[in-house]
């Protein structure tokens, strides 16, 4: 009995020491690095304001410590930024706006409870007047290139009225008219001085959290090798101006299948593509030698 007690005490002591060593040496949670200076689209974030610093810190921690989600988006980034970045540049929109797309959808064809769809989370009431097609068979909110160009039209219109890129970004979440009302009532001209609903008040901070992590992933504990990033496969674009009665048969005719056709063309929403007006569509399929 005495020997058993001695053994138990010795085991408990060893286990306790191992426990202490594990939690003091192997596992530590540290506050993510927050630089003293931070900009969105060339416009300064006033981090000297304690409220602003705390809000930025909150979003940075929320993004850094949701490791699985942030790592997945990082892996997607090169695949989709290769499409988004040239369109932003072509339209004179600051490159930082690509992080709006990250904050909106995680670089995926998400659908919100309010009915916003696609990478840019465009609402029908916003997208249709700006030229996107939406019906039973086609929804161009799911067409990344066209949706990005549509988002650029919105940014240009908003910036022309607000003359500030940070407010322009905030208006994408709040709505241009809603943000203008907030500015008029509160008599301020900076996003960082506005009292807003919680979602919009966090919006710019979320975007900048992604910017910090994406620009310096290893600083925040994300280590990716070049092969870890997802890539767009080699594609061929087929120009179509007639109806397609069966998209599965169409894919097979072009040495592919329905799964890949839908994966590469999520804007095709059904099994066929009626086209009475002979509109030109570009359908992407894998390129094979």
Of 23 and 236, more confident? 236
pLDDT in tens, 41-51: 999 999 999 99
Query: ∠ at Cα 130 (242, 151), nearest 5°?
Result: 110
Cβ–Cβ < 8 Å for 286, 256: yes
**How many angstroms separate the CA atoms of 225 and 10, rounded?**
45
Question: How many percent of the chain have pLDDT more than 70?
Answer: 90
Q: What is the mean pLDDT of the chain?
A: 93
Indicate if the pLDDT at residue 2 is higher than 60.
Answer: no
For residue 30, pLDDT beyond 60: yes
pLDDT at 29: 87
What whole-number distance in Å separates Cα of residue 280 and Cα of residue 241?
Answer: 4
pLDDT, one tens digit per residue, over 139-195 is 999 999 999 999 999 999 999 999 999 999 999 999 999 999 999 999 999 999 999
DSSP output for 126-191: HHTTTT--BSSSBBGGG-HHHHHHHHHHHHHHHHHHH--HHHHHHHHHH-HHHHHHHHHHHT---G
Predicted confidence (pLDDT) at residue 264 exceeds the cutoff of 60: yes
As a whole number of angstroms, the distance between CA 161 and CA 167 comes to: 10
Distance from the Cα of residue 197 to its chain's centroid: 21
Q: Is the pLDDT reported for residue 90 higher than 80? A: yes
Please report the pLDDT score of residue 20 as a whole number: 62
Q: With 60 as the cut, is the pLDDT of residue 10 above it? A: no
Residue 107: band (very low, low, confident or very high) from pLDDT cuts 50, 70, 90: very high
Q: What pLDDT, on a 0 to 100 scale, did the predictor assign at position 5?
A: 55
> What is the percent of the chain where pLDDT is above 90?
88
Rounded Cα distance, 289 and 63, in Å: 42
| pLDDT at residue number 28 | 80
Q: What pLDDT score does 14 carry?
A: 55
Fold of 39-228: Lysozyme (1.10.530)
SS3 category, 245: coil
Q: In this structure, are residues 285 and 264 in contact, taking their beta carbons and an 8 Å threshold? A: yes
Q: Please state, in angstroms and as integers, the Cα–Cα distance from residue 47 to each residue in 44, 54, 95, following that order.
A: 9, 9, 22
Domain boundaries along the sequence of the chain: 39-228, 235-286
């Amino acid at each position: 009995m005495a020997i058993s007690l001695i053994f138990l005490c010795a085991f408990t002591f060893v286990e306790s020491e191992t426990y202490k060593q594990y939690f003091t040496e192997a596992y530590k949670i540290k506050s993510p690095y927050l630089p003293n200076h931070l900009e969105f689209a060339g416009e300064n974030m006033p981090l000297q304001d304690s409220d602003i610093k705390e809000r930025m810190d909150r979003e940075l921690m929320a993004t850094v410590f949701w490791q699985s989600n942030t790592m997945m988006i990082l892996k997607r980034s090169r695949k989709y930024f290769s499409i988004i970045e040239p369109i932003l540049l072509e339209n004179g929109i600051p490159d930082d706006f690509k992080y709006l797309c990250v904050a909106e959808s995680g670089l995926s064809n998400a659908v919100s409870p309010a009915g916003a769809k696609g990478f840019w989370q465009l609402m029908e009431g916003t997208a249709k007047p700006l030229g996107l097609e939406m019906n039973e068979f086609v929804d161009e909110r799911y067409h990344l290139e066209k949706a990005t160009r549509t988002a650029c039209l919105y940014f240009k219109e908003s910036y022309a009225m607000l003359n500030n890129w940070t407010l322009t970004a905030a208006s994408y979440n709040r709505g241009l008219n809603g943000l203008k009302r907030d500015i008029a009532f509160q008599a301020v001209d900076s996003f960082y001085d506005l009292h807003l609903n919680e979602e919009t008040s966090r919006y710019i901070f979320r975007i900048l959290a992604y910017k910090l992590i994406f620009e310096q992933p290893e600083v925040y504990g994300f280590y990716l090798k070049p092969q870890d990033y997802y890539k767009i496969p080699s594609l061929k674009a087929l120009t179509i101006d007639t109806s397609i009665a069966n998209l599965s048969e169409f894919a097979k005719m072009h040495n592919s299948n329905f799964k890949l056709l839908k994966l590469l063309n999520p804007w095709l929403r059904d099994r066929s593509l009626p086209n009475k007006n002979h509109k030109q569509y570009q359908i992407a399929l894998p390129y094979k030698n």
